Every structure is written in structure tokens, then in C-alpha cells.
Amino acid sequence: MSEDDKNFGMEVINGAIHTFRQHNLPIVRVYHTDLKWGPQPGAEPFKFPKSVIIKDDDPKVIKNFPSTFQQTELDKILKEKGCSPLYLCGLSAVGCVWATYFGGMERDYKVFMIKEGIISHNSDYTRVIRDICETVSFEMMVFVLGNLK
């Protein structure tokens, strides 16, 4: 992915995290590892970049499949925290984010991708995902969360 896409996407992801914290809403951090190919949990490539403003007490899900719902505790965590709708962002718009989007829909969540907060290795692919999935702009997400009762 281009550095510009990556940098802008990371700014939006951090903005979303900040906005959720302002409204005392949970942030679930998701890590991916392939059981055969890695990266191994704890290894540097497994970790979030230091620029992402996650906290150690944010719920953590480690997944081995594209969807974060598949064989993880995500659904349980979301139900315990009363999360709905779901707002997704991340660095694999055409993989993990897309699969989790459909996994959430299959479990009757209302799911949105934060339009500017999804990135992939190919900006044309990212545009297709933005066109075929329910997305909200960062600005609209801030507005909606600011008007929660």
C-alpha cells in the first residue's frame, strides 16, 4: 500500500479510537496469526505499530482465520459489552476487515466500515470494498457517536 494511504488510514484509525474513548465505548484490538506461517504471538511483526493508541486493557482477540468471529471469543466479548452497531477499521480491507464484516452480519450485528479507516495492498480493491459494503465516513461516525443517548 502507498505510504500516503497507510499514514492517512492510521490517522483515521487513531481518530476512531480516540472518539470511542471519549464516549466510553469499547475498542477491541484484533491480532492475526496463521498457525503454520505466523507471525508468532509476541514477535515484533505480530504487534500493533507503536503509533496505534491501543491500551493493554482493551479487549484482545487473536484470530487464525480471516473473520475475527471464527473460532474466537469476539461474539462473547461484544455481547458482554453490549456492542452494536459495530464499526470496523484496519489494514486488510480485502481480507480480515471484509471477512469480519460478513461474520458480524451473519450474527445479526449492524456492521459498518469506517470508510477512511480501511486500507489494503491495492487502493483499487479498497475502493471496491467501500462501494459494496456499508461504510460511514469518519465524520459521520463522530456525529452518530456524539448523538448517542
The pLDDT tens digits of the residues spanning 30-56 come to 999 998 998 998 888 888 888 999 999
How many CB atoms are closer than 10 A to CB 51?
A: 10
Instruction: Look at residues 102, 60, 85, 101 and name the one whose alpha carbon lies nearest to residue 145.
Output: 85
Q: How far is CA 121 from the centre of its chain?
A: 16
pLDDT at position 31 is 94
| Per-residue pLDDT, 42 | 86
Q: Report the predicted TM-score, pTM, of the whole model to 2 decimal places.
A: 0.92
Q: How many residues does the chain have?
A: 149
Q: How many domains does the chain have?
A: 1
Give the CATH number for residue 101.
Answer: 3.40.50.850
What is the domain range of residue 33?
3-146
Q: Give the chain's end-to-end CA distance (angstroms, integer).
A: 38
At 56-73, the pLDDT tens digits run: 999 999 999 999 999 999
Q: Give me the residues of the chain with pLDDT under 50, please.
A: none
The letter for the amino acid at 149 is K
